[in-house]
């Protein structure tokens, strides 16, 4: 008898921090000023009686948070409720000063909707159950052998985007999260900074014998804040549950945490049921009434969404699906890309080159400096000039990277960088000939390999001459010269 095969059933809940200026129920700042990170704000700087839950302090709804939640709902096809309620979710934790979290329970502001996900060439609708508004809790900091509480985050507005369990693999879950992240950042409702916890995910996962419909016991994996970690945590958890069931035991309903270092999930606590939280309508807040004009306003002001943008990039710029995905994953990147490409009369000629430089060298610079593309000194004009020179053979790709590196930090003009660093591409064969001869004389063993048909060696020899020319030589001309000097025929001739 062969072992039964299993299928996974996955549903994701995403907490997304809304980028309002102030908190959801008070006027404390909800986010750091431009250019400052959350960790640079002194602990308990942005707090007041309301977000600390002092007796008698009353919450006042922030209308900006409501508008952003409506925008999210409109973009994913939810029904926006004209009347929804806030409830208290009661539990004790040191970082929750009121002893309850204000959330939406019976009725959420947005119901239903869905997101299309493309996974392995298949387009699949992942339904949404609801999107509700709630406040974030504070943060416990464990250091110096004690636990300290920082309430700067208490009362920051969140939407929780609750998906139906329509996902069936870790990869599909990752694709769904990437799409959702692209949508909410494109809408401008969140900064979406995953390191700072602006976009974090709880994953519910269970397994069942393939082809059956009954749901198995589910496990919740809490607070994962990277696409890759969500995929890895789910992969581990599915295999763990299969092993439990295959050995004749039962999966325990519980909440687990994922440890990226060990690549394992481990139990955090047994899962609470909704009734454990003793939800009841918050008597301090009136029902949330949304006017039809607000919904109409958001509908008529929706930006072009990532899926539409991707389709346009495929059509107008002949980008590959993968490149189009990269260019549309972040607003700042797509704006930069479009700004560069608008400076060319034949965009399709240079689109691939622009996209490669953005996803390659510029992305590397961005990671290295922890700066987004629009926070650097590099402008779309810089990149357009580099691409123009590169596509006309007046700059080598090595030199192009050097220009981008220097412009990234200094913002200096492309012309003056090229002139000062002597980076103009050398297309003059007579100037390159002696360098080729010199390198060939030093590499007799490599030449033998090339003669015996090892074409890979050509790349090595061209690289050596490039280095000798300080990155200025035109690689195509160098290759030509090597073949001429050695009397080796080009591939096409042979």
119: Cβ contacts below 8 Å, ≥ 6 apart: 169, 171, 172, 175
Q: Please, which residue, 7 or 284, has the CB nearer to Zn ion?
A: 284
- Closest approach, Cβ 25 to Zn ion, in A, equals 8
Q: Which stretch binds Zn ion (CB under 5 A): 44-52, 286-294, 359-367, 394-402?
A: 44-52
Q: Which stretch binds Zn ion (CB under 5 A): 43-51, 82-90, 263-271, 387-395?
A: 43-51
| Cβ-count burial 358-371 (b if 16+ within 10 Å, e if not) | bbebbeebbeeeee
- Closest approach, Cβ 10 to Zn ion, in A, equals 36
According to CB under 5 A, which one of 12, 14, 51, 482 is a site residue for Zn ion? 51
**Residue among 381, 374, 393 nearest 354 (CA):** 381
Q: Which stretch binds Zn ion (CB under 5 A): 25-33, 98-106, 185-193, 316-324?
A: 25-33
Q: Please, which residue, 6 or 25, has the CB nearer to Zn ion?
A: 25
Q: Does 30 bind Zn ion (CB under 5 A)?
A: no
Q: How many CB atoms lie within 10 A of CB 303?
A: 13
According to CB under 5 A, which one of 14, 18, 26, 230 is a site residue for Zn ion? 26
- Closest approach, Cβ 57 to Zn ion, in A, equals 9
Q: Please, which residue, 54 or 364, has the CB nearer to Zn ion?
A: 54
According to CB under 5 A, which one of 12, 28, 173, 288 is a site residue for Zn ion? 28
Q: Which stretch binds Zn ion (CB under 5 A): 46-54, 97-105, 195-203, 345-353?
A: 46-54
Q: Please, which residue, 51 or 110, has the CB nearer to Zn ion?
A: 51
Residues in contact with Zn ion, total (CB under 5 A)? 5
Backbone angles phi, psi at 223, to 5 degrees: 50, 60
Q: Does 61 bind Zn ion (CB under 5 A)?
A: no
- Closest approach, Cβ 414 to Zn ion, in A, equals 48
Q: Does 48 bind Zn ion (CB under 5 A)?
A: yes
Q: Please, which residue, 23 or 401, has the CB nearer to Zn ion?
A: 23
Q: Which stretch binds Zn ion (CB under 5 A): 18-26, 130-138, 180-188, 382-390?
A: 18-26
What is the distance of C-alpha 275 from the center of its chain?
35
Which residues of this chain interact with Zn ion, rule CB under 5 A?
A: 26, 28, 48, 50-51
């Amino acid at each position: 008898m062969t072992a039964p095969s299993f299928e996974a059933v996955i549903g994701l809940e995403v907490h997304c921090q809304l980028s309002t200026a102030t908190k959801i129920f008070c006027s404390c700042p909800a986010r750091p000023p431009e250019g400052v990170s959350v960790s640079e704000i002194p602990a308990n700087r942005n707090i007041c009686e309301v977000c600390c839950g002092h007796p008698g302090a009353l919450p006042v709804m922030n209308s900006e948070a409501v508008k952003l939640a409506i925008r999210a709902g409109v973009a994913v096809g939810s029904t926006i409720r004209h009347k929804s309620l806030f409830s208290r979710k009661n539990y004790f934790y040191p970082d929750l000063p009121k002893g309850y979290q204000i959330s939406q329970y019976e009725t959420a502001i947005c119901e239903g909707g869905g997101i299309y996900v493309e996974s392995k060439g298949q387009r699949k609708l992942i339904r949404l159950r609801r999107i509700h508004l709630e406040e974030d809790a504070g943060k416990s900091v464990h250091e110096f052998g004690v636990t300290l509480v920082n309430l700067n985050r208490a009362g920051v507005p969140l939407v929780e985007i609750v998906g139906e369990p329509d996902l069936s693999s870790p990869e599909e879950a990752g694709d769904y999260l990437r799409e959702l992240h692209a949508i909410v950042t494109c809408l401008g409702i969140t900064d979406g900074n995953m390191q700072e916890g602006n976009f974090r995910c709880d994953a519910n996962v269970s397994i069942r014998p393939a082809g059956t419909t009954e749901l198995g016991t589910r496990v919740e994996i809490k607070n994962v804040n990277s696409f890759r970690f969500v995929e890895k945590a789910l992969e581990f958890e599915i295999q763990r549950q299969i092993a439990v069931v295959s050995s004749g035991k039962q999966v325990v309903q519980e909440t687990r945490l994922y440890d990226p270092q060990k690549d394992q999930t481990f139990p955090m606590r047994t899962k609470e049921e909704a009734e454990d939280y003793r939800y009841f309508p918050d008597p301090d807040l009136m029902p949330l009434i949304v006017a039809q004009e607000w919904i109409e306003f958001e509908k008529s002001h929706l930006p072009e969404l990532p899926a539409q943008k991707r389709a346009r990039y495929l059509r107008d710029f002949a980008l590959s699906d993968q490149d189009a995905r990269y260019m549309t994953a972040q607003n700042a990147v797509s704006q930069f890309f479009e700004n560069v490409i608008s400076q060319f009369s034949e965009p399709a000629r240079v689109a691939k080159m622009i996209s490669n430089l953005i996803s390659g060298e510029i992305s590397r610079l961005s990671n290295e400096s922890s700066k987004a593309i629009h926070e650097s000194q590099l402008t779309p004009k810089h990149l357009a000039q580099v691409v123009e020179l590169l596509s006309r053979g007046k700059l080598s790709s090595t030199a192009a990277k050097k220009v981008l590196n220097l412009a990234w930090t200094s913002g200096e003009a492309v012309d003056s960088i090229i002139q000062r660093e002597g980076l103009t591409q050398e297309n003059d064969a007579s100037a390159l000939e002696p360098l080729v001869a010199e390198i060939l004389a030093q590499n007799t063993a490599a030449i033998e390999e090339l003669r015996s048909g090892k074409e890979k060696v050509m790349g090595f020899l061209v690289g050596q001459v490039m280095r000798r020319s300080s990155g200025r030589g035109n690689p195509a001309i160098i290759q030509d010269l090597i073949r001429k000097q050695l009397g080796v025929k080009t591939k096409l001739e042979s």
